[in-house]
Structure 1
Amino acid sequence: MEETEQRYAYSADIPELDDVDVLIIGGGPSGISAAVAAARLNVRVRLIERYGFLGGNLTAGLVGPCMTSYSLDGSQQLIRGVYEEFVQRMMAIGGALHPSTIPAGSAYCGFIVYGHDKVTPFEPEAAKVVAQRMCLEAGVDLLLHTMVVDAIVDDCEAVNPRILGVVCAGKGGLRAARAKVVVDCSADGDVAHFAGVHTRQGRDSDGLAQPQTLFFRVQNVNDQVVEEYVRSHPEDYRPYASIVAKATAEGRFPAPRRGIGLYKTMEPGVWRINTGRVLRRNGADAKELTLAEIEGREQTVALLDFFRNNLPGFEKVELRDTATQIGVRETRRIDGDYELTLDDLRSGRSFEDVIALCGYPLDIHDPTGSGGGTGGDAPATANIYQIPYRVMLPRYHDGLLVSGRAVSATHEALSAIRVMPPCFALGQAAGIAAALSVGNRASPRHVDYEDLRRELLAQGAYLG
C-alpha cells in the first residue's frame, strides 16, 4: 500500500522587496555572467544567491580547473566576453593561469589529453573576490544567504503563463521579489520547476542522471613523484588506474572509479581530487542530496587513507578541505523552444540564433557504475559546435530565461555544455537578452536576435 504524503496548508502575507528590471537566481558561473552583462546595459539587476559568496561550483563546489574555453583541438579560443574578463581579473591578483598556457596532458588538467587542452587553473578565493567585484562594479544588487522557494506566476492556466517573480527565504524570513524578467541560473531549474515549466531528468532509458562527486583538496603531495609516476605509466587509462584496478578487484577501493581524478593547483603540493562518485541520487531533492553528501564525505575519508597507503607521492598527504556542497552534474532540463542534441554537437550544425561556440566534448559519467568521462567510447563532437538562444526559452512560459545546465538539451548534449565556460557564455547571452526585453517591453521570446548578437559582440563575445 502506497504511503500518502501528508499536506499542511499554509498562507501568509509576506513583505515585498523593491522591484527590479531583471532578477537573477543563482550566483554560479551563469548567474555571475548574466548579472554583469545585464547590469552593463543600464537596467536594475538583483542577484539572489543561497550562500554568503558567489561562484557556485567555482567556489562552493571546489570544482576546478575550468574546462576548456577553446575549440576541441585547442587552436582557437571560443568563449570570451565576461569569462575572459573574469579570468584576467583573477590573474591580476595571482589567482589564475590563462588557459592559453595550459597544454593538454599537463598536471593542471589531470594528465588528460582529449578535451582538456587549454583548461583554466584558478583559486576559489580569487573567484569569490573577482565575482563580487565585477557584480558590484556593474551595479548589481546582491542578496546573499537567500534561496528561492516558489515562483510567482500570473494566470497559471493561460497558454503562456508569465513569471512575475519569486518567493525567497533568507535570514529575515520569506520575501517576495518581483521583476520584469527572471533569469533562472539555479543550475537545477528551480524557478522553472516551481513555475510549472515541464522538465526532464537523466537519460531517456531510465531517468537516471550522472553521478555526483564531492571535490576535496589535499596538501603535502610530492608533485615530482606524482608527475614522474604518471608519465612512466602511459598505459593507465587515468592516473594510477592499474593500482585502482587491482584494489577494486580485491574489494579495497572505496569508490566506483577506474582511476584517480586529480588536478594540480597553483600552490605546490596541493591538488584537487575529483575521484569520489555517488550513484543514483537526485540532486534536486533535499533528502536525496543529504544522503549524497553523507556518502561523499565518507568516501573522502576512505580515499585519503587509500592514497596514503597506495599512491606514490601521496604517502604524507593531508586533507586541505572538502567542498561546501557535493558537485552535481545533472538534474532538471527544461522543455525549451529548441532542444540541443547529440547530432547538433557531432555535425557542428549552424544556428541562425547562435549565442555561444563551444569545443568541450561529451563528458558522460556512468549513472550506474565506474565508466564514462571524456574520450573512451563516447561519440566524438565537432571541433567547434554552436548553442542557439532558444535552448534558454521555456516552450510556453513568458518572462523567464533559463541558463546554465538546466537548459533545453538531451542528456548527451548536456554532458558537453554543462561545464563552467559554456555556462558563462550562456549566462552572458541570457543577461543581455533579459536587458533587451526590458528595454523593448517585450517577452524574452520576442527579443530581436540581431540586437542580441550586436550586444554580445560589443561585450566581447565570439560568435564565429
Structure 2
Amino acid sequence: MLVVGGGPAGIAAAIAAARSGARTRLVERYGYLGGNLTAGLVGPCMTSFSLDGSEQLIRGVFDELVRRMAELGQARHPSEIPAGSAYSGFIEFGHDKVTPFEPEAVKLVAERMCQEAGVELLLHSFVADVCTEGGAVTGVVCASKSGLRLYPARVVVDCSADADVAVAAGAESVTGRESDGLTQPMTLFFRVRGVDDERVEEYVRGHPDDFRPFASIVAAATAEGRFPAPRRGVGMYKTLRRGVWRINTTRILGRDGTDVADLTAAELAGRDQVDRLVRFFRAELPGFAECELLDTAATIGVRETRRIVGEHVLSLADLQRGTHFDDVVALCGYPVDIHDPTGAGGGVDDSWGTANAYEIPYRSLVPVRIDQLLVAGRCLSATHEALAAIRVMPPAFATGEAAGTAAALAARLGVTPREVPVGELQRALLAGGVYLGRTTGPASSPQPAP
C-alpha cells in the first residue's frame, strides 16, 4: 500500500499499516517527515485529551512519538501541561493538556519509528498524477529529481491535507464554509529568541482582562494603524528552550491553499508580516525588547482547503451531541476553532458547545464512489465547522492510524476499504494502543489512561 503525505496523518498511517503487516511506502515532498510539526513550525500539538482534561483520548502512534521525544528531553507529555500555562499560550479553554515539542526531534523520532516498522520512505517526491481503473485507484505517479515514476498500490491513503489524490481520482469534494466557500486564513509560524520569559509571564498574568496576550496593546496599535496583522492579540507559545517562543500571529486572508499563485503570494505576505511583527514586538511588547527572529516556517500554514465527501459527513451536531458511531475509529476533545476567513476574529470558542469527547467514524475516511482509497487528516469528510475542531495535529494522527490499519486489513482480506469489517478494524486499533471509548460495541474494552 501507499501513503501520500508525511505529516501527522501520514506518519501514523504508514506506521500502522506496516505494523499490521502491509508492505508500505510513504511519499513525502520534503526531505523529512512531520508536515506542520516540522516544516510548518506549528506547535504545540493541541490537546489529545477530553475537553475537561480528565482523560487522554488520542493515544497509539501519537502517544508513542511524544513519549519517545520526551525520553530525549525534546518534548513534554501533555498530561504535564495545564491550561493557561505559557506552553498553552496562556489560553484556558480548549488548551488543557497540549504537547510542547522540538521540531527536530519529530524528524528524527518519526523516521526511526517508520524504519523500525519497515516503512519504505520516498522523500523529495510529490504526486503528479493518479491512476484509476473502473472507479478504483490503482497507483500514483510521483515526480522527483529522478523524473516521473509510477507506483502501483493495492490501497492508497491520501494524507496530503488537500485531498490531492482523492480529487485527482475523481472523488467529490467541497471547500470552505457552506455559505460562500471561503476558507480559514493562512498563517506563517515563526520563532523568536532572546525573550525575557519571566517579564512576559509577569505582564500577561497582570492583565487578565486581555482576550489574548497583549490584546490591549494590539488594540491600541490597530486603532492607530500600526499593528501589521489582522489579529486581536499575540498568539505565542513558550517552547522547551529558554527565551524561545513560537509565534502564531501572522494572518493571510483570501488565499486558496490549492492554488500555486495564492500560495506564493501568501508566503511573501507572511514573511513581510513577520518582519514587521518582530520590529513591533521589540518596540512595544514587555519582555520582547531584546528578541530577534530565530526562523520562519519552511512553508505557509494552511488551515483549510478541500474536504472529501465521504460515506458520513461529520457535522457540528455530531460534535455537540457526542454522537456514538458503531464504526468509531477515533475520539477527540478539541473544540471548534474557526479563524475568521475575512478578518481578525475567531479562534477557540466555547459558544459552539462541543461535547467533552466526541467520535470520528470510519465512514468519514471513505470517499463515496471511489474505491481502493482512504483519506485521513484535515481533508476527511466533515463540515466546515466540524473540520475546525478536528483539523489539528492529534486528531490527524488518530485518523491516520485508523486509515493505515484499515488499508492493511483491506489488502490482507482482499476487499475494498469500504468493505473492511468494522469490528475487526476496531480490534486491530485497540491492539495497537488506540482508545475508542468505554462502550464501543463488541470491539471495545476499557483501557486505563497511560
Question: Where on the TM-score scale, by shorter chain, does this alignment land: which range?
Answer: over 0.9
Deviation of the 1:384 alpha carbon: 0.6
Instruction: Tell me if 1:115 matches 2:89.
Output: no
CA distance in 1, matches of 2:165, 2:129: 7
Q: For 1:283 and 1:277, how far apart are their aligned partners in 2?
A: 13
Quote how far apart the aligned CAs of 1:380 are.
1.5
Q: Secondary structure of the equivalent of 1:176? A: strand
Q: How many residues align?
A: 437
In 2, Cα distance between equivalents of 1:211 and 1:460: 35
Identity %: 65
Amino acid at match of 1:296: G
2:240 corresponds in structure 1 to 266
SS in 1 for 2:151: strand
**Equivalent of 1:89 in 68, 76, 82:** 68
Separation of aligned partners in 1, 2:74 and 2:305: 30
CA distance in 2 between counterparts of 1:282 and 1:41 reads 37
Q: Partner amino acid for 1:262?
A: M
Deviations 1:94-127 (A, max 9, x none): 1100100000000001000000000000000000
Separation in structure 1 between the aligned mates of residue 136 and residue 221 of structure 2, nearest angstrom: 55
Residue correspondence of structure 1 range 33-182 to structure 2 within 5 A: 33-155=12-134, 161-182=135-156
For 1:8, the equivalent position in structure 2 comes to none
Structure 1 match to 2:203 = 229
Question: Which of residues 178, 187, 194 in structure 1 aligns to 2:168?
Answer: 194
Shift of 1:327: 0.5
| Structure 2 residue corresponding to 1:431, chosen from 388, 392, 404 | 404
Letter in 1 for 2:149: R
Aligned-pair distance for 1:196? 1.0
Query: Which letter maps to 1:398?
Result: D
Distance 1:417 1:205 in 2: 20
For residue 194 of structure 1, report the CA deviation from its aligned partner. Answer: 0.8
**2:435 is the counterpart of 1:441:** no
In 2, Cα distance between the equivalents of 1:288 and 1:212?
11
Q: Distance in 2 between matches of 1:24 and 1:409?
A: 21
Distance 2:293 2:353 in 1: 36
Instruction: Name which of 417, 424, 429 aligns with 1:451.
Output: 424
Residue 208 of structure 1 pairs with residue 182 of structure 2: yes
Distance in 1 (CA, whole Å) between partners of 2:261 and 2:129 is 18
Q: Which residue of 2 aligns with 1:353?
A: 327
Match of 2:305 in 1: 331
Structure 2 distance, partners of 1:24, 1:305, is: 42
CA distance in 2 between partners of 1:175 and 1:324 (Å): 26
The letter of the residue matching 2:57 is L
Match of 2:381 among 396, 400, 408: 408
Distance 2:353 2:280 in 1: 34
1:368 alignment counterpart: 342
RMSD: 0.6
1: CA distance between counterparts of 2:253 and 2:353? Answer: 25
Cα displacement (A) at 1:198: 1.1
Name the SS of the counterpart of 1:136 in structure 2. helix
In 2, Cα distance between the equivalents of 1:286 and 1:184?
20
Q: Aligned partners of 1:104 and 1:323: how far apart in 2?
A: 26
Letter in 1 for 2:10: G
User: Residues of 2 paired with 1:392 and 1:174: CA distance?
Assistant: 28
Task: Determine the C-alpha separation between the residues in 2 that align with 1:256 and 1:201.
Answer: 23
Structure 1 residue 375: deviation in Å?
Answer: 1.9
Report how far residue 193 of structure 1 moved.
1.1
Measure, in 2, the Cα distance between the counterparts of 1:196 and 1:285.
18
Find the aligned partners of 1:154 and 1:25 in 2 and give their Cα distance. Answer: 19
Q: Match for residue 13 of structure 1?
A: none
Q: 1:279 pairs with 253, 264, 274, which one? A: 253
| TM, length-normalised to structure 2 | 0.97
The Cα shift of 1:56 comes to 0.2
* Partner-residue secondary structure (3-state), 1:407: coil
Classify the secondary structure of the residue corresponding to 1:404.
coil
Measured after TM superposition, the shift of residue 43 of structure 1 is 1.2
Structure 1 moving runs of 4+ over 6 Å: none
Q: Deviations over 1:194-241 (max 9, x none)?
A: 111111110011100000000000000000000000000000000000
The one-character-per-residue Cα deviations of 1:279-315 (angstroms, maximum 9, x if unpaired) are 0100011111111111001000010010011100000
Is the partner of 1:327 in helix, strand or coil? coil
Structure 2 distance, partners of 1:95, 1:431, is: 27
Q: Which runs of 5+ in 2 are unaligned?
A: 438-450
Structure 1 unmatched runs, 5+:
1-21, 156-160
Letter matched to residue 340 of structure 1:
L
Q: Secondary structure at the match of 1:405?
A: coil
Aligned equivalents of 1:417, 1:347: Cα separation in 2: 15
C-alpha displacement of 1:319: 0.5
| Post-superposition offset of 1:422 | 0.4
Q: Superposed, which structure 2 residues align to 1:270-309 within 5 Å?
A: 270-309=244-283
Query: For the residues of structure 2 that align with 1:314 and 1:215, how far apart are their CA atoms?
Result: 17
Amino acid corresponding to residue 211 of structure 1 in structure 2: P
CA distance in 2, matches of 1:115, 1:273: 18
Distance across 2 between alignment mates of 1:93 and 1:143? 26
- CA offsets 1:52-102 (integer angstroms, 9 cap, x no match): 000000000000000000000000000001111010111111110010000
